[in-house]
Structure formats: C-alpha cells, structure tokens
Amino acid sequence: MSATLPPLALYIHVPWCVRKCPYCDFNSHGVGHVSELPEADYLAALIADLEADLPLAAGRQLVSVFIGGGTPSLMTAEFYARLLEAVAARVPLAADAEITLEANPGTLERGRFAGYRAAGINRLSLGVQSFQDQQLSALGRIHSGDDARAAVEEARDAGFDNLNLDLMHGLPGQTPELALADLESAIALAPSHLSWYQLTLEPNTEFHSRPPSLPAEETLWDIQDLGHERLQAAGFSRYEISAYTRDDRHCRHNLNYWRFGDYLGIGAGAHGKLSAPGEGRALAIQRRWKVRQPASYLRRRHDPRGFLAGSSPLPTEELPLEFAMNALRLVEGVPLADWASNTGQGTDALLACLSAAREKGLLADDAERFQASPLGLLFLNELLASIGEHRAS
C-alpha cells in the first residue's frame, strides 16, 4: 500500500458566545459583554498553539480552514485578518483553500461581514436554526427570523457567494407544516448550501436534564421525508446525511472529515487527527486535543507544557469502525479500495460480514463502492453495528 498522506485541514475554535443555548454540547462559554473578550490574548495564544503544531504539518499544505465555536463572529475582522495572515505565513494554503467562518445572525455581529470577507474568509456559515421567532425563543437563540434574513442580505452585499445556512428540524412542538415553512424560508434566500439536521438531546446540556416536548417519532419521519423531497425539488442535492448543496458548493472542510482526512486543531478544546506511515497496510492515526477551559488555555501560553491536553493513537482494531462512521455518512460513499488503504484490512471478510446488511437493503449494491443505500442512511446505526461485529470477529 502507498503511504500517501491524506489532505490536511485546520480547525480553529473560538469558545465564547453571548449565551449558551440549552441544546448545545460544544465547548462554548457565555460572556457577559463582547468588550470582555480577551481578543488580543487569544490571538497570541492561537498563533503560539499553531507554532507548536508546525512539525505535524511539515511539507503539507492546508486545503481548508474552518473557524467554529462558540460564536466566532464575536471577534473583530481585524482579529481574523491577523490570524489568517499568521496561518498563511506558517503553513502553505492551497490556492483554492476554503476558509469558513461560523456566524450568528444576531444584531451584535451586523456590519462585520464585509470586514470578514476582506480578511480572507470566503465561506460563511450562518446559524439560523429556524426562521420562526417562537421556535427560536424555545431554542434559546438571541436572534429573530428577520435578523436571519437581514444577515443573509448583508453577507451577499459583503461578497459572500458561498453561503451555508444551519437549520434544525424536530424542534419542540414542531409539525411537518412548520418544518416545511422553515425550509421554504431558507430556499427563498437561495443559499449555496444547507445543513438541515434534527435536534437531539445531548448529555450535559440543559435540554438533556430538562427535556422539552419533542415531536413523536412518526412526525419526525414525516418531516424528514417531506423536507428531503422539497429540497430536491428546489435543486438541492443531498451529499451527506444532513448536508445539501446546489451549484456543487459542498463544504470541502467537512468532506475532508468524512473522507478520513487529517486536520490540525488549535484553540480551547480543539481536536486534531494526524496520520503517519504505519507498519502494516494502513496509516497510523493519532488523535490530539487541546486544553478545554478558555482561561486555562490562555495560561498555557506561558506554560512549558504548552496547549496539548492529551493525545492517543487510534488502535488498529478501531480503524474499521472509525472509517465507516465517517464514510457511510456520505450519500455516494467512498471507493471500496479506500477501505483497505484506511483500515489495513482486506475487503473480502468485510463484504461477507455485511452480506446480511445488504440483504436487508442497507448497503448499496455496488461492487466498487462502500456505500449505504437510501434505507441504510436512515438506519445507519444498524449498518455500523455490522462493522462493529466485523471488528470483533
């Protein structure tokens, strides 16, 4: 097997938000006022964090940069201009590198989009979640539906033609009609990309400890089926379980994740995945994560231990399931040959183990691809359980 390394991306985490949403399990921390943000100190820490990781990127270029949070759009355009300049000076950026910033459509960030575009950000991802004020209130969001529409208009005026809208479904008390109304509002704004995903109750969140009344299972299926049909009719192509695009504006950063690419992670709580040539047929994978609490992270800039909180090699026996959990999220799957190059295992035993899943219609009938069927995308956990059985056998 060739030990060719996969593409390399960079994830940058900004951990602050105005107020933590009750469904959010990300490493985000509410800040009383934007003036309290330690912008200069955090910029210096991010650059130092990247400096420490430079040996991991030696001889490689970045195909994408994704700035997530938290609410990254709380930081100024100057912050990102200086940050991206520092990144480009240390790690080569591909000529067509995708650089994404997550932003909230609240009034606090208004007027900044032009500055973000000038700083080098070429893709904007707006956390809309819903266009209905009642639903937004139930989700703990601080913007309105009108704020979301205004943010899209401002983003376009600022020169963003690669625009994603994050939209949730399965919200408290939501009917199929209300879910489709949200989709209609999104479609009318003609984004190039839609992330349309179901609200889930994650551990260590307010919603998990005090669950809201969510739609019944049958209603959730109706929402998903009707919404998928409407998005297809509007010209959106589904390429991942919850990702839709038109004009081929796929999120390249997320595609790198799903295709088992590598990524550096800098910032409080950021995770990374790096590959190196292994002894067998597969690459050796290492997971790394940074100090999680923002205050502790900032202190580590002056600490000889640095920003790394921990790292762990991915055991060879876990490679099949890790690879499958990503690849099978893609509607088109991946070439079957990628199985061997990413897991170090042959395909014969895998296909024999998956024969039952194929008989159930969960696996696409394609001898050249490792791909879930449309039914398999709906029952992905069952399909992944087959991979787990293969790993244990």
User: Which contiguous run of DSSP H or E holds residue 198?
Assistant: strand 193-198
Q: Is the pLDDT of residue 235 over 70?
A: yes
234 is a domain residue: yes
237 is a domain residue: yes
275 is a domain residue: no
Q: What's this model's pTM, rounded to 2 decimal places?
A: 0.95
Cα(148)–Cα(157) distance, integer angstroms: 14
Give the pLDDT score at 286. Answer: 95
227: tokens are 């919404």
Question: Is 230 in the same domain as 333?
Answer: no
Cα(294)–Cα(273) distance, integer angstroms: 21
Look up residue 275 and give its amino acid: S
86: confidence class by pLDDT, cuts 50, 70, 90: very high
Question: Is 49 in the same domain as 161?
Answer: yes
- From 86, 178, 172, select the one nearest 137 (Cα to Cα): 172
Question: Is 56 in the same domain as 192?
Answer: yes
Question: Helices 217-233 and 176-188 meet at what angle, rounded to 10?
Answer: 30
162 is a domain residue: yes
What is the DSSP secondary structure assignment for residue 5, as one 8-state letter? P
CATH number at residue 175: 3.80.30.20
- From 212, 215, 128, select the one nearest 175 (Cα to Cα): 215
Main-chain dihedrals φ then ψ at residue 352, nearest 5 degrees: -65, -40
pLDDT digits (tens, 9 = 90+) for 309-341: 999 999 988 888 899 999 999 999 999 888 888
Question: Is 250 in the same domain as 171?
Answer: yes
111: left (phi over 0), alpha (psi -120 to 50) or beta: left
Distance of CA 69 to the CA centre of its chain: 11
Look up residue 177 and give its amino acid: E
328 is a domain residue: yes
Question: Is 13 in the same domain as 159?
Answer: yes
59 is a domain residue: yes
What is the DSSP secondary structure assignment for residue 216, as one 8-state letter? P
53 is a domain residue: yes
215: tokens are 């739609």
Whether the ω angle into residue 361 lies within 30 degrees of 0, i.e. cis, is no
In contact, 264 and 53? CB cutoff 8 Å = yes
Question: Is 199 in the same domain as 337?
Answer: no
pLDDT digits (tens, 9 = 90+) for 246-288: 989 999 999 999 999 999 999 999 999 999 886 666 788 999 9
pLDDT digits (tens, 9 = 90+) for 61-70: 999 999 999 9
Q: Is the pLDDT of residue 188 over 60?
A: yes
296 is a domain residue: no
Residue percentage of the chain with pLDDT more than 70: 95
Question: Is 323 in the same domain as 237?
Answer: no
Identify the weakest region by mean pLDDT among 75-79, 90-94, 138-142, 385-389.
385-389
Give the pLDDT score at 360. Answer: 87
Question: Is 361 in the same domain as 232?
Answer: no
Average pLDDT over residues 344-358: 79
Q: Is the pLDDT of residue 351 over 80?
A: no
pLDDT digits (tens, 9 = 90+) for 106-162: 755 667 999 999 999 999 999 999 999 999 999 999 999 999 999 999 999 999 999
Number of structural domains (the chain) is 2
Among residues 206, 232, 256, the one where a domain terminates is 256
Question: Is 329 in the same domain as 209?
Answer: no
Among residues 231, 256, 281, the one where a domain terminates is 256
Q: Is the pLDDT of residue 357 over 90?
A: no
For strands 8-14 and 62-69, give the pairing: parallel
Cα(136)–Cα(167) distance, integer angstroms: 11
Question: Is 72 in the same domain as 213?
Answer: yes
Among residues 256, 285, 305, the one where a domain terminates is 256
Give the pLDDT score at 281. Answer: 60
Q: Which residues form the domain of 385?
A: 318-392
What is the DSSP secondary structure assignment for residue 363, as one 8-state letter? B
Question: Is 229 in the same domain as 355?
Answer: no
Cα(176)–Cα(51) distance, integer angstroms: 49
Q: Is the pLDDT of residue 388 over 70?
A: no
Average pLDDT over residues 179-205: 96
Cα(93)–Cα(9) distance, integer angstroms: 9
Question: Is 192 in the same domain as 82?
Answer: yes
CATH number at residue 380: 1.10.10
